[in-house]
Structure 1
Amino acid sequence: MVSVVQHSGQVWAQDDNRPYHFGFKKSKDGKLPSIAEEGFMGILQKHGAIFLGDTEKKELYLTFDNGYENGYTAQLLNVLKDKKVPAAFFVTGHYVKDQPELVKRMAEEGHIIGNHSWSHPDMSSISASRMKDELDKVKVEIAKLTPQSEVKYLRPPRGIFSDQMLGVSQNIGYTSVFWSVAYRDWDTKKQHGWNYAYQQVMAQLHPGAVILLHSVSQDNAEAMGKIIDDARSQGYEFKSLDQMQLKQYR
């Protein structure tokens, strides 16, 4: 079913609003990850969403989701500053209101602050006007705290999206950022030690990787320095999303 959506005076056609939960076949033994069997590769490509960077170059893009603070973001920022590594932090409304000093620090130290929505809803199930409101609220609060007046990157909450949702967000200026390296790190009751986090990330590294980590994880904070050092020892370079020159889908 195709519907017509009007927003901000513009009209465009969107396909049906069926929800997708982002998933991918993980990289293993040096093979590249894949979304070819997930049923949504064409939708991501259509809207310029990010899954992979250039898989011919040993580049890594480090991203964090910040829904709430658990005491480890400052430690992560210390490591990134010491190692001179750029990252993108996707913040919610709760985070930006609760942790203004950390948000300021992210910007001061050269990191990208991305939009993770105001209240973390399933964005495939809400209207275009509510979606814009969710994103605008976060953008306004970021602009109050930092010189970053433009917020260009969005990570859909819970990785749930639709063709329509990606189309609406793209139309108002966002690039949706998914990921090609991840593991179950968000459960604070199931932390397994820094070496577990290290092994999970390092086993999945591949050229052009977009790494998703959650800042609530103690394991991630304690493993971050070694992950960076050992990735670099393998010839990888950490880059900002703003430096991504090629998006790939496979």
Structure 2
Amino acid sequence: MRKWLVMMSMMILIMLPAPADAQQVERSMVEPKGEVIWEVPMPFKKVAITFDDGPHPVYTPQILQILKYYDAKATFFLTGERIERFPDLVKREVKEGHEIGNHSFTHPNFSSLSLRDIEKEISTTEELLLQFQPGTRPKLFRPPGGELSMPVLGLMKEMDLLPILWSWHQDPKDWAGSSSEAISAHVLENIHNGDIILLHDSGGNRKETVKALETILSALTEKGYQFVTVQELMETDPVFGF
């Protein structure tokens, strides 16, 4: 049945235009219905720290060690090509209670791809993720660069995936080579209950991210914050919960 649905979806996608010139989603139209998640405002001191582009053989283990020390859970949005290269790190993430999500296979620019190619990027990675959580189909997807057009959102619905972005005030730009001081200051100065924080454990030198993570967890722990997965964050709200 699933194969038949995928084949039908592919036939539809072939007839659809490429998303390069497509309108980007309007937050005010999709967020209230829970179609795309940026954050989950709440009265509780809970936040979700997310890591994109991994796993990485150097930085991911360091990040996992820090998370373990602070009894913090995180969500890792993984690329398929790196899952294939470092499966033991994915196993460790799952074993230590963290959440894994889909971040495409090669981290391409979606605006340059057809919907058919985008579907392949996502479904290939989905099959890889299933190996680490048999029987539990990954539901969370983060588009590369946060780029999400209306046609791509339609594809997400067809594939029963939930796009997860991040709080607009919680992108400390660690991907741009910011210092650990700048990264941690940005997160701490803008913290709100229910934030989804964007960090990266791969895609470049992440030494500063690792240092910043220690500072962030230490400071927010003192303030009484809990660090949960994105799914756990959403479960506190009836609009966003599964």
Letter in 1 for 2:171: A
Letter in 2 for 1:52: E
2:133 maps to 1:162: no
Count of paired positions: 221
Aligned match of 2:224 in 231, 235, 242? 235
Deviation of the 1:131 alpha carbon: 2.4
Which residue in 1 is equivalent to 2:46? 59
Gaps of 5+ in 2: 1-7
Deviation of the 1:40 alpha carbon: 3.7
2:136 maps to 1:134: no
Q: Distance in 2 between the 1:49 and 1:60 partners?
A: 17
Instruction: List per-residue Cα deviations over 1:164-222 (Å, max 9, x = no partner).
Output: 211211221211111111121113xx342x32322121112111100010113211211
Letter in 2 for 1:7: S
2:50 maps to 1:48: no
Aligned match of 1:175 in 129, 147, 162? 162
Which residue in 2 is equivalent to 1:116? 103
Which residue in 2 is equivalent to 1:74? 61
Q: Distance in 1 between the 2:197 and 2:135 partners?
A: 23
Q: Distance in 1 between the 2:173 and 2:194 partners?
A: 21
Which residue in 1 is equivalent to 2:82? 95
Letter in 2 for 1:220: T
More helix by share: 2
Deviation of the 1:228 alpha carbon: 1.2
- For the Cα contact (< 8 Å) 1:142–1:148, is it kept in 2? no
Letter in 2 for 1:60: V
2:207 maps to 1:221: no
- For the Cα contact (< 8 Å) 1:107–1:148, is it kept in 2? no
Letter in 2 for 1:185: D
TM-score (norm 1): 0.77
CA RMSD of aligned residues (A): 2.8
More strand by share: 1
Question: What is the DSSP-based 3-state SS (H/G/I as helix, E as strand, rest coil) of the residue aligned with 1:201?
Answer: helix
Name the % identity.
29
Aligned match of 1:202 in 148, 173, 188? 188
Deviation of the 1:10 alpha carbon: 8.7
Gaps of 5+ in 1: 1-5, 23-38
Q: Distance in 1 between the 2:208 and 2:23 partners?
A: 31
Letter in 2 for 1:168: L
Q: Distance in 2 between the 1:81 and 1:125 partners?
A: 39
Deviation of the 1:9 alpha carbon: 8.7
